[in-house]
Structure 1
């Protein structure tokens, strides 16, 4: 029996590959298994190779596996593209409709199963994915009845007959593998899970849920991969809490609408990807100079321009810190797990209001769209902080004076009132202004207002700016990464430790302002610092050099082909670097 499995289904986009992975993985999640999934999909609406690789385990997993145990293929291209991942003794389940072939003299077994034919006999070829799930279940020794609840949830709205037909397709897949091939390889049986109930979600769902928990009741956004699921989730859920989502005409409108709604007192945000953030830069500057809270989610993808819109990359980092014109205080956060995405989204709203600054929550395609098991969220941890938002009891101002909305304060944060508050009248403008908001080009006032705004960053309070796994006082390697590379780095660390190489790990969650004090002693203690990131120019490594120095011991481990890191890549390449 095995305690861990790597399974992949592939075919042409639009023929049910995603639903195959969904039904399979949700059912196993409900049985108590831990899962980590990653979808490779084309930027076309229909057509082009797509696959869904899912890792199943009886213990927690946070990365894609190096190899593959079972490949389910709906066309020959799936075999040709993915066969190299199969381990010795692996299995290919392929639709016999296309006469599948595999390379000769390899220790991999091909089982041609008439997925399409069996499904057609049951009423429609669309159910071929259910037949494939059934064949997989025979290999893993999973009772097909374990899928009934998921099939009911997925297809129940179409009627009970459809549910019964899909369940019959799963059982036919089981029967075919056992009756025709006599499958009885107990070495492929999957160990029983603990049966515990856990969530199973993508990072975008966690971000959207975090926004609701933070009290956000309005989102303005324009659709873009890989951010659209945030908007789609909230379109369904936010009205239940008295909220609304508006699909704007473009990202500029989305960002300025969010600023206006925040000015009115609502907790509002927008979400996009790199091209959309480029359009928002002027508006982010408006948020900075008017000191209006603003939360933006940037789900990174392959660039530049349209680039690789459905592929993994982490190349927006410098743009998110330095992209705006002029100089404004800004916070950039980078959650590394689905759980952190939920909690950090709440914290993003708190920081935006406490310090009256734009806050960018930086994710990447792997975290945003990769689906994984999540332990139950602790809603008792939620704490709403609105900073210096004053109530209606404002003192009456003498001589018809205006409220000092931009008052120069020691901590850089001015008192804030909502429009219409009695005795709170003030100007709001995108040009430089005095303490009441009145436009001013006086040199001394400019210096006072700039210094006041920039003082905010010295007081940012973020509970865990760096996630640390420190095992050694003077390690051979200190790995540094951000966002979705965390689990892959941790798996590579275990292999290096087994080789006698001492390894520590620092994963940065607060990108700007940079957590220099937290990282400096870790960098000083290490013989070699290896920065793992999905871009071509080593942006995170350059930030490390700018803020901490020690450039002579910092090395970059880069990948920018559109695919996420695999554990063996970090393991092998880091050994070469030391």
Structure 2
């Protein structure tokens, strides 16, 4: 049997794409904690990291997995075959060994009788390591085997153990010195266990001198990068965009936003309220917005369903509000801990009557920062609810990003109209819903004597007075619609920041999509180009109103347009056609609760290219 270090070295030199390590076991065995610590250490070592995790919906028990991909170059996606699988039990081997590429490495917890897991693959380097035995015999605590395994991994990858100790001290500080001490001891035992046996496990491909210098600089100035999740990035972007009131109800996988806001928004003069349900959350947000305070809530699919009537109230009363929907697999309660892009139709069309609203979607963790801020700018400028469609795979993915400067994310926030600038009064009466060419009228907040008006969910005239006259309903419906048409025209004339493009312009095969599929698609396009198949891509961040002219200009002349999306029915492909985008659309759907890997997108590209 070849040495583990030799197998991994040959594997990584051949690939020149860094490495992917997957940690798997039972929920409650510390899989996620081990993965997060490994991610943190790799990031502090100057590497670019991107992660993916799966876990059961139950509080304890059930299979759990954490995957971290790392390289000396920025990464598009955390997905792809694993180079190394660290399995805490036999079930983890059975469930995840198929994800290991041929020639990869599997490290599994040693059996007391010396046997091997049933059905263990023969085309990988498999090695038993006594994670559990060391934890039981030397620490009298089997729960520390994740720290033993992590210490062994640190040794194999030549990572400084001090960084792991610092993480443990910070992570378990609230549990007392005894818990911190035993976990640090477990790290040390695992580190000693593997120092000889697994040396060199993390060695990467040979790099150019410039790449080595860049990595060394990043390692010596680790503060230049941060490791952050999509949910955290959205929350930071929202605060930068002016959010000063947050109301929410806990729901997987959006709860992290509520927790982050509760911890940090008060430092910016903001207020956080946990409400009794999702309807109360959005109602509270609309109330704060009426009072002139930029406000937000976050939920997932079932919660968004409950908010539909209040979204209509926000549209009718023309109140700015930001609603983040972190999508999970559905319908109904569905699979709370799995990802999907199944809420597009609900976000765009959900509601009775014509209720136009803005819908946005970030394409990466880094993009969550910008979209979080942009959502508030748009809501305030166009006086309408803005729905941000995130996804579990983005929300809980952690990535290393350059630390942005304040100038990158903070822009001067433009407040709504004040008494000094109101000019909508006629004979002393303020017309809150005055009809204008672009549909946007001057807004005032309570307490402004010059801006007294009625606000209601009923159809109303320019003053806000309820009205059921046909001409009033026609004109007000057009007013609400024209606002979004103005946004669409602005985006089509200045698309920077609203779309992402990649690939050579002369390509005859195109990829079009939205949301988290961007990273895997761009990586697949690069792989295809290396095989002599040029592919270009366009990912839109504004889903409603849809920038049809940009999409049509991209599609024109292409022989095939592949639309990858994480749902069964191909909602985005149908939406494109419904909005008038004409072209040779080829659907690529997936409904497993898991994101696309680059290989899956590449397979469809190859299939289309061979026709």
CA separation in 2, counterparts of 1:394 and 1:314?
42
CA separation in 2, counterparts of 1:35 and 1:439?
55
* Structure-to-structure mapping, 1:42-81, within 5 angstroms: 42-81=56-95
Give 1:10's aligned residue. Answer: 24
CA separation in 2, counterparts of 1:47 and 1:262?
42
CA contact (8 A) 1:335 1:362 kept: yes
SS at match of 1:423: helix
Give 2:135's aligned residue. Answer: 119
How far apart are 1:260 and its partner, in Å? 0.6
Identify the match of residue 170 of structure 2 among 144, 153, 161: 153
Identify the match of residue 478 of structure 2 among 428, 448, 451: 451
Identify the match of residue 417 of structure 2 among 389, 407, 430: 389
* Structure-to-structure mapping, 1:128-527, within 5 angstroms: 128-158=145-175, 162-178=179-195, 182-184=197-199, 186=200, 188-190=202-204, 193-194=215-216, 195=219, 196-197=221-222, 198-381=225-408, 382-386=410-414, 389-392=417-420, 394=422, 401-460=428-487, 461-462=490-491, 463-473=496-506, 475-527=507-559
CA separation in 1, counterparts of 2:465 and 2:170?
58
- Pair 1:535 & 2:567 matched: yes
CA separation in 2, counterparts of 1:124 and 1:577?
55
Distance 1:144 1:450, change over 3 A: same
Deviations 1:490-525 (A, max 9, x none): 111111112211210101111111111211121003
Deviations 1:341-376 (A, max 9, x none): 111111111111111011011111111111111221
How far apart are 1:183 and its partner, in Å? 3.6
CA contact (8 A) 1:392 1:421 kept: no
SS at match of 1:342: helix
Distance 1:214 1:183, change over 3 A: closer
CA contact (8 A) 1:140 1:190 kept: no
TM-score where L is the length of structure 1: 0.94
CA separation in 2, counterparts of 1:480 and 1:465?
14
How far apart are 1:453 and its partner, in Å? 1.5
How far apart are 1:464 and its partner, in Å? 2.7
SS at match of 1:326: coil
SS at match of 1:106: coil
Distance 1:403 1:220, change over 3 A: same
How far apart are 1:225 and its partner, in Å? 1.0
SS at match of 1:230: helix
CA separation in 1, counterparts of 2:45 and 2:382?
44
CA separation in 2, counterparts of 1:88 and 1:576?
23
- Between 67-76 and 374-383, the greater mean CA deviation after superposition: 374-383
Distance 1:140 1:394, change over 3 A: closer
CA separation in 2, counterparts of 1:31 and 1:396?
59
CA separation in 1, counterparts of 2:163 and 2:329?
38
How far apart are 1:452 and its partner, in Å? 1.4
CA separation in 2, counterparts of 1:361 and 1:80?
38
How far apart are 1:90 and its partner, in Å? 2.0
CA separation in 1, counterparts of 2:606 and 2:516?
21
CA separation in 2, counterparts of 1:396 and 1:91?
70
CA separation in 1, counterparts of 2:416 and 2:557?
41
Give 2:596's aligned residue. Answer: 565
CA contact (8 A) 2:498 2:540 kept: yes
Q: What value does the CA root-mean-square deviation take over the aligned residues? A: 2.1
Structure 2: tracts of 5 or more residues without a match:
1-8, 206-211
CA contact (8 A) 2:24 2:86 kept: yes
How far apart are 1:89 and its partner, in Å? 2.9
Give 2:107's aligned residue. Answer: 93
CA separation in 1, counterparts of 2:426 and 2:314?
30
CA separation in 2, counterparts of 1:395 and 1:309?
49
How far apart are 1:123 and its partner, in Å? 5.2
Identify the match of residue 554 of structure 1 among 576, 585, 588: 585
CA contact (8 A) 1:12 1:49 kept: yes
How far apart are 1:165 and its partner, in Å? 3.7
CA separation in 2, counterparts of 1:8 and 1:491?
20
CA contact (8 A) 2:503 2:534 kept: no
How far apart are 1:145 and its partner, in Å? 2.9
SS at match of 1:236: helix
SS at match of 1:483: coil
Distance 1:550 1:226, change over 3 A: same
Structure 1: tracts of 5 or more residues without a match:
none
Distance 1:104 1:39, change over 3 A: closer
Identify the match of residue 109 of structure 1 among 94, 101, 125: 125
SS at match of 2:511: strand
CA separation in 1, counterparts of 2:65 and 2:36?
12
TM-score where L is the length of structure 2: 0.89
CA contact (8 A) 2:419 2:444 kept: yes
